[in-house]
Amino acid sequence: METLINPQGTNDQNPFNEGKTSQAYSRIDPIYEQSAIEAINFVDPLKHNGAEGLVIDIGAGTGVSSEVILKTGVKNLVLVEPSEAMLEQAIKRLADKAEYCKLHAEDLNDKFNSNVDLAYALNTFHLFTDLSKFLASIACALKPGGCFVFNISTPTYGFEKLSKEEIATIKANKDFYTKLNESAPNEILIYTIALLDKIIDCDFTEVFTKDSVEQIFASVGMRLEDSTEVIIKMQADYQRNIWSMMAQSFVSDQKQIDDLVKSIELPEELHIRQAIFKLVNQS
Ligand SMILES: C[S@@+](CC[C@H](N)C(=O)[O-])C[C@H]1O[C@@H](n2cnc3c(N)ncnc32)[C@H](O)[C@@H]1O
């Protein structure tokens, strides 16, 4: 199997540990909400042991995806999130409607033991630093027959064909990371730029594909039951807000970040394609 490298995960630092990142997160809530709605439409949590089923939201962040899950009527939801700053925002949002667990996805088995009916990891999978540890951890946490649902988009995921709008979006992303790297040279940024170049050329050897997802989960007895692709359309301003938030992990001067983000030419509407996967624990 080809090596799958996680561009963000090459660095142990979780950008979401920063207090200011967790506060800036609210500027992009509607985008994450949109993608959580897509995932929930694809896999309805109530079909997994009804309202009483144990559902976990891995990398729950400030609780945007969890709020969407709760709206379906789920009663037993646990937010799993390693960043204290993000958890604080989630607790403000959801109070006693859910439970909270400060934990990395790689350590789920410290808390869950074959008792989870359904686990979501939304806009988070690309951040897991130790993939083999995560695979063992999710397989232990799920009940036999329990499901794991996650979404993933470029640059971590490779699609066979990209539309003109998606290529424009990826080029704008590349432009952003190239300029950011000029202000704050960093191994992750260089890696991301190289990866985006490859994706524009449709060379997907170093990113996840449907086949590689199927293969890596099969190694822990989990079967890929279904997958789909959705397009999240976002106005250019939202994309700028996401970049501005991510840039805070690399550059501390806000004016420099604002100038950098303003300098990128963007199509009016950006197209972010996401793949959503549903895996079933067979053991
Ligand atoms: C982009 S946010 C997504 C939040 C939420 N799922 C949503 O859709 O709004 C990614 C979250 O993953 C968390 N994260 C990073 N590394 C993680 C890990 N190893 N295990 C679990 N969560 C992690 C970050 O702290 C952050 O809160």
- Give the domain CATH number at 108: 3.40.50.150
Two tokens, residue 114: 């074959």
Task: Round to whole Å and give the CA distance between 86 and 69.
Answer: 18
Nearest residue to 104 via CA among 92, 116, 89, 121? 121
Does some domain include residue 161?
A: yes
Residue 30: the pLDDT is 87
Kindly report each contact of residues 180-189 with a partner whose C-beta sits within 8 Å and lies 24 or more positions away, as own/partner.
Answer: 180/247, 180/250, 180/251, 180/260, 183/250, 183/251, 183/256, 183/260, 184/250, 184/251, 186/11, 186/250, 187/10, 187/11, 188/7, 188/8, 188/10, 188/11, 189/250
| Number of domains forming the structure of the chain | 1
User: Rounded to a whole number, what is the distance in angstroms from the first to the last CA of the chain?
Assistant: 23
110: in domain? yes
Residues with CB under 6 A from ligand 1: 14, 16, 32, 36, 58-61, 64-65, 81-83, 86, 104-106, 122-124, 127-129
Place of tokens 């998606």: 166
* pLDDT over 80 at 157, yes or no: yes
Counting ligand 1 atoms within 8 A of each CB, the residue from 13, 102, 112, 127 with the most, and so the one to mutate, is 127
* 99 alpha carbon – ligand 1 mean position (Å): 16
Distance 127 CA to ligand 1 centre (A): 7
Name the residue among 83, 68, 89 with its Cα closest to residue 149.
68
Residue 7's pLDDT is what?
47
- The Cα 37–Cα 42 span in angstroms is 9
Q: Is residue 250 part of a domain?
A: yes
**Highest mean pLDDT: which of 27-41, 112-126, 155-169?**
112-126
Q: Between 29 and 143, where is the model more confident?
A: 143
Alpha carbon dihedral 124, 153, 53, 146, in 10-degree steps, equals -100
The answer to whether residues 216 and 131 touch, using CB atoms and an 8 Å cutoff, is yes
User: pLDDT of 197-246, one tens digit each?
Assistant: 998 888 888 889 999 999 999 999 999 999 999 999 999 888 898 888 88
pLDDT-derived band at 250, boundaries 50, 70, 90: confident
Residue-level pLDDT at 257: 92
Give the distance (Å) from ligand 1 centre to CA of residue 199. Answer: 24
Q: What is the DSSP letter of 269?
A: E
* pLDDT at position 140 over 70: yes
The verdict on residue 6 lying in a domain is: no
Residue 119, domain member (yes or no): yes
Answer whether residue 274 is part of any domain. yes
- Is pLDDT at 1 greater than 50 in this prediction? no
Strands (E), the chain: 54-58, 76-80, 99-101, 116-121, 142-153, 222-235, 269-281
Q: Which one has a higher pLDDT value, 85 or 283?
A: 85
170 pLDDT exceeds 50? yes
CA of 123 to the centre of ligand 1 (A): 7
Q: Whose CA is nearest to atom 11 of ligand 1?
A: 59
User: Taking all residues of the chain, what is their mean pLDDT, rounded to a whole number?
Assistant: 91
Q: Return the best residue to mutate from 6, 11, 12, 16 for the ligand 1 pocket (most ligand atoms within 8 A of CB).
A: 16
Q: Which residue has the CA at smallest separation from atom 7 of ligand 1?
A: 65
Provide the pLDDT for residue 84: 94
Q: Kindly give the distance from the C-alpha atom of residue 153 to the centroid of ligand 1, in angstroms, as a whole number.
A: 14
Give pTM, 2 decimals: 0.92
The segment with the largest mean pLDDT, out of 8-17, 46-55, 124-133, 190-199, is: 46-55
pLDDT single digits (tens) 23-40:
777 878 888 999 999 999
What is the extent of the structural domain holding 29? Answer: 15-281
Measured by CA distance, the residue closest to atom 1 of ligand 1 is 123
Does a structural domain hold residue 230?
yes
Distance, CA 34 to ligand 1 centroid (Å)?
16
Q: Compute, in angstroms, the gap from residue 164 CA to the centroid of ligand 1.
A: 29
Ligand 1 atom with the shortest distance to the CA of 121: 6
Is residue 98 very low, low, confident or very high in pLDDT (cuts 50, 70, 90)?
very high
Position 69 in a domain: yes
What is the mean predicted confidence (pLDDT) over 244-257? 88
Supply the pLDDT for residue 3: 40
Q: Closest Cα partner for 23 from 269, 255, 245?
A: 245
For atom 26 of ligand 1, which residue has the closest CA? Answer: 61
Expressed in angstroms and rounded, the spacing between residue 125 Cα and the centre of ligand 1 is 8
Q: How far is the CA of 2 from the centre of ligand 1 (A)?
A: 25
What pLDDT does 13 receive?
63
